[in-house]
Structure 1
Amino acid sequence: MQSDTRTTDLDATDLQLIDNLQLDGRMTYTELAHRVGVTEKTARRRVSRLLEARYITIAAVTDPGVLGFHCMALIFITIDGSRLPVDIADELVTVPEVHYVTVTTGRFAMQAEVVCTDKQELYDVVFGAIASVSGVATVEILPYLRLHYQQARFSGLPTGVGGIRPKPLDTTDRAIITHLAADGRAAFRDCATALGVSEATVRLRYAKLIESGAIRVMCIANPLRLGYRFSGWVTIQIGENGRAQDVAEALTRLKAVSYVAITAGRADVIAEVIAATGESLLAVLDDEIRVIDGVAAIGSLTYLTVYYKAIRPRGPSTRVDPDADDQTG
């Protein structure tokens, strides 16, 4: 999924469809059409167009560790001026381990979020696949100590559902999430067959996973294409007596914050902030983030272009023994 600074052709109906699919990416077309006030045929056609044009993707949002990715990092990239940043981004996003590429203002022209199985793979990807791309001058790793919070939702519709946080899961839960990560709208019947459990088990487990905040299947939309032109990364340094975990948790309570990770290196915490105007971004930075206890300094990197890929499992879903694990509570 790519975005640029040009005006897009999303109309009010498209935005309503995206809003509702951000609430629930598995919403039936019948329900979706009813909520938006169009025919089911129109809803299907519009959503298909949005998917084909890569305005959106529908996927399971979960802790990447569930999918076997136990090492994540944000890579700060400087460029040598021999190529346009967007051309470099086009190439970087083809690297399998690269999940998110942003071209931004500020000292670092680009950032790439990578999801890897371990530190050795991280090292190989950063200093091999990324550093060797023509036009890349330097790379700097901010390894995640914890992916603390994911929201990935910019819908204006009210919901009682919070963001995604790491949760303890058993084998069956992990298998269900892995299957839905490959296809967020996969039929529960097909998921049950693939995993060797009953459809009722899949439905019950899925409902509990949603309730616990371990997973959400939702429409992932690029904020720039939805009009949030002043979105970007915020880097945060913690003061001498501050705690990164406390600051990270405080950030999750801010409406404009969609993503929080505790990191090592240049920043102690990073957050993605979604803002439509310069004034709204300034208000978030000055009135909401700088005043958090423990924050010593912040920096902002405003998005110019965003390239996004949903995190997919690398291998096929594994069949599970339905009697092997206790039911989740």
Structure 2
Amino acid sequence: MPPSQKDGYVPGLTRGIELDATDRALIAELQVDGRVPFVELGRRLGLSEKTVRNRVSALLSSDVIRIIGLTDPRMLGFEAIAMVGLTTDPAVPASQIAAEIAGIRDIDYVVVTTGRYSIMVEILATSPERLRHVIERQIGPIAGVRSMEIFPCFSLFYQKARFLAEGPASGVRSSPLSELDRRLAMVLSTDGRMPFRVAADRLGISETQVRARVSAMLEARQLSILAIMNPLAVGRSVAWLGLKIAPGARCEDVASHLADDPSVSYVFICGGRFDLFVEVICDNDSQLYSAIDKRFRSDRRIANAELFYYLDLHYKILSDID
């Protein structure tokens, strides 16, 4: 259990923090490869191994980052996934409602946003029945929630948690896993730097098998091992885009095209008012506007793009809601 987890509540990744240049450089390297040896990190950054180890330990213990194996949540048993847009009573602060929702175990992402919704929530549930329970019995009764619009997930098409590191980044795409790979991915979802011999002991297989399977999943983009953090903690500008696909265009074709955009971190194919939800992360508001205007609104296959700008974000890890 993470040190921050008490009485069933997981506060998620810290936002109100100050990171110096060394912290940012370390996180950037760990977003490229979460398992890079500390001695190698020190060599790259001109630091001692002890300094690197202490810095990374401090970042982990304070919940600034977590180093995890990132994969499709469906492969870890979350079979019912949905985005929910909430309208709220102006008399109740949206931030207060969002904080209460973030305490629900099945919630991994809560955004206070602009636009038609005051709050947007991603739910990862183990079954449709559990999803319905969370919506009706846990979110619905919260004081200040006026209405909900539910967008069931058909596919988590693409996810990428890297945004500090320079250069191109490959995200995880939805792809079936074998039972062994699923179990291995679940183990690494709690600790991406877990020694392979420890993972092997837990799964009852050899260390050589673990190394081979992890390498294969990384190569197939079924798994990524990296440091993740709240992007608002480092001043990034973030927004959801709700996209309606034009008649005649294929949703998966558009999703595949958008996944190649360096500013896109998440592509969620859904039902309802929108066909796609796309998360865009940029260095600042100017870049965010430019990306949306030039790369999305100019695409003839997109009939409509609606912006939901992040004002605040509660971000948890899959292993914390397991």
How far off is 1:158 after superposition?
Answer: 2.8
Letter of the 2:80 partner, please give it: C
Which consecutive aligned stretches of 4+ in structure 1 deviate over 6 angstroms post-superposition? none
Residue in 2 that maps onto 1:249? 256
Equivalent pairs counted in the alignment come to: 311
Q: CA-to-partner distance for each residue in 1:279-305, whole Å, 9 max, x for gaps?
A: 211211111112224100101111111
What is the 5 A alignment of 1:279-318?
A: 279-312=286-319
Q: What are the ranges of 5 or more consecutive residues in structure 2 without an aligned counterpart?
A: 1-11
Task: Determine helix, strand or coil for the equivalent of 1:132.
Answer: coil
Q: CA-to-partner distance for each residue in 1:10-44, whole Å, 9 max, x for gaps?
A: 11111101101101112221122222221122112
Residue in 2 that maps onto 1:79? 88
CA 1:289–1:314 in structure 2 vs 1: closer, same or farther (change >3 Å)? closer
Task: Determine helix, strand or coil for the equivalent of 1:237.
Answer: strand
CA 1:138–1:127 in structure 2 vs 1: closer, same or farther (change >3 Å)? same
Does structure 1 retain, via aligned residues, the 8 Å contact 2:245–2:301? yes
Task: Determine helix, strand or coil for the equivalent of 1:148.
Answer: strand
Residue in 2 that maps onto 1:69? 78
What is the 5 A alignment of 1:14-53?
A: 14-53=23-62
- Two-structure CA RMSD over aligned residues (Å): 1.7
Q: CA-to-partner distance for each residue in 1:33-61, whole Å, 9 max, x for gaps?
A: 22222112211222222223322121111
Moved more, 133-142 or 170-179: 133-142
Task: Determine helix, strand or coil for the equivalent of 2:209.
Answer: helix
What is the 5 A alignment of 1:207-246?
A: 207-228=215-236, 230-246=237-253
How far off is 1:3 after superposition?
Answer: 5.9
Taking the aligned partners of 2:88 and 2:70, their CA distance within structure 1 comes to 31
Taking the aligned partners of 1:219 and 1:248, their CA distance within structure 2 comes to 25
1:184 equivalent to 2:195? Answer: no
Does structure 1 retain, via aligned residues, the 8 Å contact 2:108–2:321? no
Taking the aligned partners of 2:298 and 2:14, their CA distance within structure 1 comes to 32
Taking the aligned partners of 1:104 and 1:55, their CA distance within structure 2 comes to 22
CA 1:82–1:54 in structure 2 vs 1: closer, same or farther (change >3 Å)? farther
Residue in 2 that maps onto 1:170? 178
Taking the aligned partners of 1:212 and 1:73, their CA distance within structure 2 comes to 26
Structure 2 length normalisation: TM-score?
0.92
Taking the aligned partners of 1:2 and 1:211, their CA distance within structure 2 comes to 28
- Tell me the percent identity: 37
Equivalent of residue 203 in structure 2, options 195, 201, 211: 195
Task: Determine helix, strand or coil for the equivalent of 1:224.
Answer: helix
Residue in 1 that maps onto 2:127? 118
Letter of the 1:270 partner, please give it: F
Task: Determine helix, strand or coil for the equivalent of 2:319.
Answer: coil
Structure 1 length normalisation: TM-score?
0.90
Letter of the 1:23 partner, please give it: V
